[in-house]
Amino acid sequence: MNHTRTFMLMAAMTALFLGVGYLLGGTGGMLFALVFAVATNGFAYWNSDKMVLRMYGARQVDAASAPGLHRMVETLAENAGLPMPAVYIVDSDQPNAFATGRNPDNAAVAVTHGLMSRLTDEEVAGVVAHELAHIKNRDTLTMTVTATIAGAISMLATFGMFFGGNRNNPLGIVGVILVAILAPLAASLVQMAISRAREYEADRVGAEICGRPLWLASALEKIERMAQGIDNQRAEGNPATAHMFIINPLHAHAVDGLFRTHPKTAERIARLRALAGEGGGGQGPWG
């Protein structure tokens, strides 16, 4: 269901790009914007993992420096049929986590110190399984493609505002102005909807990986509550990375559902509890 929703949203994003490209830049402007967006996002795709980990001061750990966490990630990665990712700890008291990397062979899972100290081992396992699900589902690639198209649309909008766009389009100059204003907003809304769909899917697959949906449900409930009262200063200074975390780490994130990078936590928890009730909770690796 979430895969179908993601496909339909990406198709809508592509259709939006083609329509906006014709109205604002014509064929030439559309191709220029796409090439530029592909180049910039391609660079980000290959280098974003190192950049984000450095941005958050993440420290890589191994079996000697963090034996419990390393063993947990190793066991869950094996459950998921994934290569062992690199494991990092972020020095933040706010419980949270994220995954990065361009593919399963070049992936990393990062958890905060607060996650390790404030949640039970079972809850941490649920969170790690969720992040491994993002890696398994190749969500980094999905969001990079989405960002490429959204970036190209924003470029076309800027082009239209500064240079007048393609005035020979059926809507004339009024159409150019309206599209230049509304297109980036529409692209952002679709991009956020795709992000929310990928979170739901990572919850479902993560529950399968760890075998206990209620572990992840309990973790989400705690992280949501604690994130509202504990600052993550690095995230506040880099809000563009907020979508990477399992729970939005920002205190000032939008409350309108359309503008959320994450689904409502209560809905995620309800789905996980329903999954557990349907027999989706098997024997966990430490059960």
Active site residues: 131
Tokens at residue 55, please? 């941005």
Three-state secondary-structure class, residue 167:
coil
Query: What does the block give as tokens for 215?
Result: 């572990």
**Cα distance between residue 60 and residue 109, in whole Å:** 10
Q: How many other C-beta atoms lie within 10 A of the C-beta of residue 64?
A: 7
Pairwise CA distance, residues 262 & 196, whole Å: 5
Task: Tell me how far apart the 2 most distant CA atoms of the chain are, in Å.
Answer: 67
Pair of tokens at residue 237: 């200074």
C-alpha span between 178 and 232 (Å, rounded): 38
Question: In the chain, which residue ranges form alpha helices assigned H by DSSP?
Answer: 2-20, 26-55, 67-80, 113-118, 121-136, 139-163, 172-210, 213-227, 233-237, 265-275
Phi-psi region of 60 (alpha: psi -120 to 50; beta: other; left: phi over 0): beta
User: What 3 state SS string does 235-264 have?
Assistant: HHHCHHHHHHECCCCCCCCCCCHHHCCCCC
